[in-house]
Amino acid sequence: MVRIGVLGVGFMGKMHFNCHRANPRVKVIALSDLDPKKLAGDWSMIGGNIADKRAAQVDLSGLRLYAPPSELFADPDVDVVDITLPTFSHAEYAVAALEAGKHVICEKPMGISLADCDRMIAAAKAARRLLFIAHCIRFWPDYKVLRQIIASGKYGKVVSATFWRKSLTPTWSWDNWLLDAKRSGSAIVDLHIHDTDYVNYVFGVPAAVCSSGVVGAVSKGGVDAVVTHYIYPRGPHVVAEGTWALAPGFGFTHGFCVVLEKATVEMDCRSGKPLTVHTLKGKTLTPRLPKDDGYVAELKHFVDCIGKGKGSDIVTAEDARKALAVCLAEEEAVKTGQAVTVG
């Protein structure tokens, strides 16, 4: 049984808390948040871009409730600290938790800067503890199956791939940190990083990025919309769009259209259609998808790794650093109007 303390009870803290609670190999024994209402079980103010119909008032009896994270780190019964704090706080608290001897699961993006990532990686190494970064799209059923389809070679090589992730403007975060580029990294680093990381995972780190976008439309000084062409000199042609500048009524969607030599694979989460493979021979196939969503699957995987005392073979902290490095190159490309070399 892995005993977990969740640090930060917002959109993702609530998500992780509920995922862990459904996993019989895990016991959430503690929560930490600086908001006393959340520690009293009033979660009515928690927002997000994915509908969540779970109770707004939560029974937290039996849990250890800590306001300062230092008390969570000092609890000798906590094996793992699961950090779902705003991005600008990840490095500070991940390092402190690791130094206190805890394994750490931390939400993506790993940090706000590459220096943050380096501090976290060094702290994990020095403390000989495991560090997992929750890049959930690597575990998301449609994206997992797409990668398997590509890797199988059954439909030949990828010719071109387009990914998208579009959201209403995130106005729900604690202290409005998401709309402050200095604290969130804005739409590229917070939202679009899901696709950048997936592109790295499937195609490798690109040689360069060409990006254009919109700065400061809804956030303080951040890139709120981006379109990036990831350059692979020997192919394929890969493009991703990310934006959070959309009106509230739009909600959220993500998806892809991948053209292989012998088939096209498409998915858009709100089309109502499952992931679909259209073959050149005229067949339309809908492969079976794993039943766990990406949040459930990634957290189960990290807990399994902790149980075995091993790092992840699906996403490493170095992978998460690379995703941030490419995103920062995309930001530079938007702001300078020049292609930026990466790999």
Ligand X SMILES: NC(=O)c1ccc[n+]([C@@H]2O[C@H](COP(=O)([O-])OP(=O)(O)OC[C@H]3O[C@@H](n4cnc5c(N)ncnc54)[C@H](O)[C@@H]3O)[C@@H](O)[C@H]2O)c1
Footprint on this chain of ligand X (rule: CB under 6 A): 8-13, 32-35, 38, 69, 84-87, 89, 107-109, 134, 136, 173-174, 190
Question: In the 3-class helix/strand/coil scheme, how is the chain assigned residue by residue?
Answer: CEEEEEECCCHHHHHHHHHHHCCCCEEEEEEECCCHHHHCCECCCCCCCCCCCCCCECCCCCCEEECCHHHHHHCCCCCEEEECCCHHHHHHHHHHHHHCCCEEEEECCCCCCHHHHHHHHHHHHHHCCCEEEECHHHHCHHHHHHHHHHHHCCCCCEEEEEEEEEEECCCCCHHHHHHEHHHHCHHHHHHHHHHHHHHHHHHCCCCEEEEEEEECCCCECCEEEEEEEEECCCCCEEEEEEEEEECHHHCEEEEEEEEECCEEEEEECCCCCCCEEEECCCCEECCCCCCCCHHHHHHHHHHHHHHHCCCCCCCCHHHHHHHHHHHHHHHHHHHHCCCEECC
Cβ distance to ligand X smaller for residue 15 or 158: 15
CA-closest candidate to residue 209, choices 221, 191, 185, 192? 192
Residue nearest to ligand X (CB): 10
Min separation Cβ 145 and ligand X, Å: 19
Q: Which is nearer to ligand X, 89 or 211 (CB)?
A: 89
Shortest separation between residue 130's beta carbon and ligand X, angstroms = 19
Q: In this complex, which beta carbon is closest to ligand X, that of residue 11 or of residue 163? A: 11
Residue closer to ligand X by CB (options 89, 200) is 89
Q: Considering beta carbons, is residue 84 or 219 the nearer one to ligand X?
A: 84
- In the complex, the smallest distance separating the C-beta of residue 10 from ligand X, rounded to whole angstroms, is 2
CB of 11 to ligand X, least distance (A): 4
Between 69 and 255, CB nearer to ligand X? 69
Minimal distance in Å, beta carbon 5 to ligand X? Answer: 11
CB of 107 to ligand X, least distance (A): 3
Nearer to ligand X, 9 or 227 (CB): 9
Smallest separation, CB 139 to ligand X (Å):
10
Report the distance separating Cα 85 and Cα 166, nearest Å.
22
Query: 23 or 279: whose CB is closer to ligand X?
Result: 23
The least distance separating ligand X from the CB of residue 279, rounded to whole angstroms, comes to 32
